[in-house]
Chain A
Amino acid sequence: MSKYKKHIMVCGGTGCRASESDTIVEKMKKELENRNLDKDVQVVITGCFGLCEKGPIVKMLPDNTIYTEVKPVNVTEIIDEHIIKGRKVKSLLPADSYKGKTDSKNMDSFKKQIRIALKNCGFINPEVIDEYIASNGYEALGKALMEYTPEQTIDIIKKSGLRGRGGGGFPTGLKWEFAAKSKGDQKYVVCNADEGDPGAFMDRSILEGDPHSVLEAMAICGYTMGATEGLIYIRAEYPLAIERLQIAIKQAREYGLLGKNILGSGFDFDIILKLGAGAFVCGEETALIHSMEGLRGEPTIKPPFPAESGYNNMPTNVNNVETFANIPTIINKGAEWFASIGTKKSTGTKVFALAGKINNVGLIEVPMGTTLREVIFEIGGGIQDGKKFKAVQTGGPSGGCLTEKHLDTPIDFDNLIEAGSMMGSGGMIVMDEDDCMVSMAKFYLDFTVEESCGKCAPCRIGNKRLYETLDKITQGKGTEADLDLLRNMSHVIKDTSLCGLGQTSPNPVLSTLDNFWDEYIAHVKDHKCEAGQCKSLLQYNIIAEDCVGCTACARVCPVGCIAGEKKEVHIIDQSICIKCGACMDKCKFNAIELI
C-alpha cells in the first residue's frame, strides 16, 4: 500500500542541523529527482537520534542502516551505492559496524539509554491492568510468593546491588532485611512519592505511566518483611498520578492481586494512598511518617530508624517510587542480570529528568556510569541556541553543580558525592553561559528557606542568613568577608542540622564557591555579573554617537529617568533607573548598551 519503497531519514535535531543536515536533505531531494527516484524514495527530517556527537545522522529504511558524520558531499554516494546498488557505504558506517552491527535495531552499543524503571512508560495503558499483565506484570509477585521464601527474595535484592533511588543511595536489600528482622504486630511498607525537587518529574512519570509496577513491588516488599499494609505518600499536587494509582489499586483488588490470600499463597496485602500537601521536608522519611500520622511534617532524630519504629511506632520500610519500579524486573530477570548493568558499586540504571537550557528536555534512563557528557551532549542534544555549557545542577536543592571538568566523570552515587554534588532523586538542570551562579545558589536557598520546617535552628536561621548574604552579593553590596561567612556558615549548617534537608541545603552554595570562585569575586570586588543576571550590578547606558534623539526611550521609561531634547543625545539618570530594560528593547538604533 505504501507509495514509497524506501525512506531516508535525516536527523533534524539542533546538533545535526548545525552541521548542515538541512543542506543534506535538500541535496538528497534534488539528487533523487535527477535520478527519477523521488516517487520511490522519501526523504524525511526526524527529531534527535541522541547521537549528536556523531552527527549528522542519516538512517536508511527499511534496512535500518545508520550512517554517521554524513556531509553534503556524501549524498550522491549514499544514493548511488545504497539506494541504487544496494551496497552499504562502508566509510560512513559507525565504527561499531565492523562487529556486524550495522542496523539501528542491533545498535545497542549506540543507544545510551536502557529502560528498566520506565520499561512500560509510554507503552501500556496505565489505566488497564490487562496491559500490565500482558507485559509480564505481577509475574514477579507470583514468583516471589510461590517460588521464593522471604529471605531468598531479600537475598535477590541484596545481590542485585540496588540502592535507594530517592537520593540517599542506601542498599535496598539491606533496608528490607532490617525491616524483616524487626518485630512488630503490624508492619508497613511505605512508598515515598513526595517528589519535591524543582525540575524533577521522574516519580510522577512512573506513577502516571506504570502505576502497577509500584503496587507489585510494594506487595513483594510486604511479603519479605511480613507487612500486610502498604501506604503511598503522594503529594496532592499530582492529581493525575493519584487518579491512576486509585484506578490501579481498584483493578488489582478486583483481580485479587491485592487483598486477602493473593494468588492462593495465604499472603494478604493491601495499599492505601496518603495525600501530602507538598512540603519538601516530607520527602525525609521520618517527617513523611509523621505527616502520615496526622502530625506536623517534621523530622525526628534517627535512631530509632523507621525499620524499628516507624508509622504508628511499628516497623516500617520506606522506599522511593523509582526504587520500587526496579524491583519486579530484578525478580524476573535475576540479581546477576541487574548487577551486570551499571558500575560495580552502583548497579542498574538511573532515571533523570533533563531540564533547563538543554535541547531535548525530557525523561531519560541511563545505566549508572554513563558520563555527563553523554547525557547532555548526546541524549540531551546539547545546549540550546548553540550557547556554551556552564554547569549542571544535580540533586536539586540538596545537590551541587558540576562543571565542564566533571563532564567525563561517570555518574554514580559515589562519584557525584566526590565531585561535591549528589545523585539526589534525579533532576538535572542544565545551565549555560547566561546563567549567574550566585543567583542560582540564591534561587535554591530561597527554596530551602521556604521549605525548612523550622524545627532546628541551624536550618531555620542559618539558611535564612545564607540567603540574605547571597542576596546582598547579587545586589552588589557584598564584600570578600561575606564569602568567608558563606563558607563557614554552610559548614556549620551541614554539621549541625537535624535532617537531610539542612544537612544538604548549603551544597549549592559550597559547590558554586568551589567551582565558580572567580564569579563570586567578580560580584563582590568588581561589582560585575558576567552573565548579566544580577540587575543591580548592571547599568544601561546611552551611546552618545549612536543616539539620534528620537525620544522613544524617554517615552517608554516607566520611571521617567531618561532626559534629553528631540534630536539630541539622551541621558539616563542612574540613581532613578530601575533596570527594567524597556529602553533597550525600544531603541531602534542600538544606542543603548548594558554594562
Chain B
Amino acid sequence: MAKVKTLADLRKMKSELRSKIQVRENPENPESIVQIKVGMATSGIASGAKEVYNFFTEELAKRNLSGITIQVGDMGYCYAEPTVEVLVPGKDPIVFGYVDVKKADQIIEKYIKNGELLDGIIPPNYQNINE
C-alpha cells in the first residue's frame, strides 16, 4: 500500500474515493450499483447479522444483481437488530429492521427489484453532520 505522504496526497485520495462512490450512487451511470449496509457491531452480530450479510452477498450474485454488501457499525436501532440499510441509486437510503434471511429475501425481491416497500422500515430520526 502506498504511503500518504502529504496533506495534498490525502485530499487527492479523498476526492478520488468520493468520485468512485458517486459513480456507484448515480443512477444515470451504467456502473451504478445497489449498496447494502449491514449493521455489524456486537449487538447486530449477536442477533444474526452475519448470516444476513452472507445471504445478501451470495444472493445478489446468484440473482444477477449488481450490488455490494458492506459491513458497518451500530446504526443505533438496537431494538430492531439486525438492521440493514439499502441504497438504491437515485433513491433515499432506507433502513430495514429485524432483518432475517426471510426478510432479506423480500428486500431483494420486493424492494430492490420492484421498488416496493416493506412493513417495518425504520425512519431515520437523526441529523448527521457528515456532508
Tell me if chain B binds chain A.
yes
For B100-131 the 0/1 string (1 means CB < 8 A from A) is 00000000000001111111111111111111
- A125 and B121 contact, CB distance less than 8 A: no
Asked if A34 is at the interface of the complex by the 8 Å CB criterion, the answer is: no
Q: Determine whether the beta carbon of A122 is less than 8 Å from that of B126.
A: no
Contacts of B5-47 to chain A: CB distance below 8 A: 5-7, 9-11, 13-14, 17-18, 20-21, 37, 39, 41-43, 45
Whole-angstrom distance between the alpha carbons of A555 and B125 in the complex?
Answer: 52
Q: CB-CB contacts of A118-149 with B at 8 A, as 1s and 0s?
A: 11111111110011011111110011011000
Contact B79 A359 (CB under 8 A): yes
Give the complex CA separation of A4 and B116 in angstroms.
7
Q: Is the CB of B5 within 8 A of A264?
A: yes
Flag whether A1 is at the interface (Cβ < 8 A): yes
Q: Is the CB of A256 within 8 A of B3?
A: yes
Distance between A280 CB and nearest chain B CB, rounded to angstroms: 19
Pick from B3, B17, B37, B114: contact of A130, CB under 8 Å? B17
One of B70, B71, B97, B116 near A47 (C-beta < 8 A): B97
Which residue of chain B lies nearest to A238 when distances are taken between CB atoms in the complex?
B42
Tell whether, in the assembled complex, residue B130 and residue A42 are in contact, meaning their CB atoms are under 8 Å apart.
no
Most A CB atoms within 10 A — which of B18, B21, B70, B125? B125
Q: Does A27 contact B (CB under 8 A)?
A: no
Is the CB–CB distance between A42 and B41 below 8 Å? no
Distance between Cα atoms of A142 and B131 in the complex (Å): 19
- Residues on A with C-beta less than 8 A from B4 are 138, 255-257, 263
Q: Are A263 and B74 in contact (CB under 8 A)?
A: no
Known A-B contacts A49-B125, A379-B125; the reply to A362 vs B13 at CB < 8 A is: no
**C-alpha gap A264/B4 in the complex (Å):** 9
Name the one of A44, A114, A135, A241 contacting B126, with C-beta atoms under 8 angstroms. A114
**CB distance B11 to A139 under 8 Å?**
yes
Q: Of the candidates B7, B10, B117, which one forms a contact with A133 in the assembled complex, judged by CB atoms under 8 Å apart?
A: B10
Interface assignment of B77: CB less than 8 Å from any CB of chain A? yes
How far is A241 from B40 in the complex, measured between Cα atoms in Å? Answer: 11
Question: Contacts A49-B125, A125-B70, A208-B41 known; A138 to B117 CB distance under 8 Å?
Answer: no
A146 and B28 CA atoms in complex are apart in Å by: 39
A535 within 8 A of B: no
B80 within 8 A of A: yes
B125 x A363 contact (CB < 8 A): no
B41→A240 contact, CB < 8 A: yes
Chain B binder among A105-113, A219-227, A397-405? A105-113
Closest Cβ of chain B to A109, distance in Å, is 10
In the complex, the answer to whether A209 meets B72 with C-beta atoms within 8 Å is yes
Tell me if B10 and A362 are in contact (CB < 8 A): no
Q: Point out the residues of chain B lying under 8 angstroms from A201, CB to CB.
A: 42-43
Set of chain A residues within 8 Å of B127, measured between Cβ atoms: 108, 111, 113-115
A134-B14, A240-B45 as given contacts; A44 in contact with B74, CB under 8 Å: no
Tell me the complex Cα distance, A114–B4, Å. 32
Contacts of A257 in B (CB 8 A): 4
Q: Are A208 and B129 in contact (CB under 8 A)?
A: no
Cα of A318 to Cα of B115 in the assembled complex, Å: 49
Bound: A104/B125 CA distance, A: 9
Residues on B with beta carbons closer than 8 Å to the beta carbon of A48: 122-123, 125
- Complex Cα spacing A59 to B11, Å: 39
A119 contacts B130, C-beta separation under 8 Å? yes
Q: Which residues of A lie under 8 Å from residue B6 when comparing CB positions?
A: 263-264
Residues of B within 8 A of A45 (CB): 119-120
B114 x A9 contact (CB < 8 A):
no
Question: Known: A136-B14, A208-B41, A362-B76. Contact between A3 and B126, CB under 8 A?
Answer: no
Q: Any chain B CB within 8 A of the CB of A361?
A: yes
- Of chain A, the residue at the smallest CB distance from B113 is A1
Contact of A134 among B1, B17, B71, B74 (CB under 8 A): B17
The reply to whether A7 and B73 form a contact with Cβ atoms under 8 Å apart is no
Does B73 contact A208, Cβ atoms closer than 8 Å?
Answer: yes
Q: In the complex the two chains form, what is the Cα distance from A255 to B128 in whole Å? A: 27
Bound together, the chains give a CA A379 to CA B78 distance in angstroms of 13
Q: A506 at interface (Cβ–Cβ under 8 A)? A: no
25 CB < 8 A contacts A-B:
A3-B115, A7-B117, A42-B116, A42-B117, A44-B121, A45-B119, A46-B120, A49-B123, A111-B126, A112-B126, A118-B76, A125-B71, A126-B71, A133-B17, A139-B10, A205-B73, A205-B74, A209-B72, A209-B73, A255-B2, A263-B9, A264-B5, A361-B79, A364-B76, A365-B126
The 6 tightest CB contacts between A and B, nearest first, are A209-B73, A2-B115, A113-B126, A50-B125, A122-B75, A256-B3
Q: Known contacts A208-B74, A263-B7; can you find 8 more A-B pairs with CB under 8 A?
A: A42-B116, A46-B120, A47-B123, A111-B127, A122-B83, A124-B72, A126-B73, A133-B14
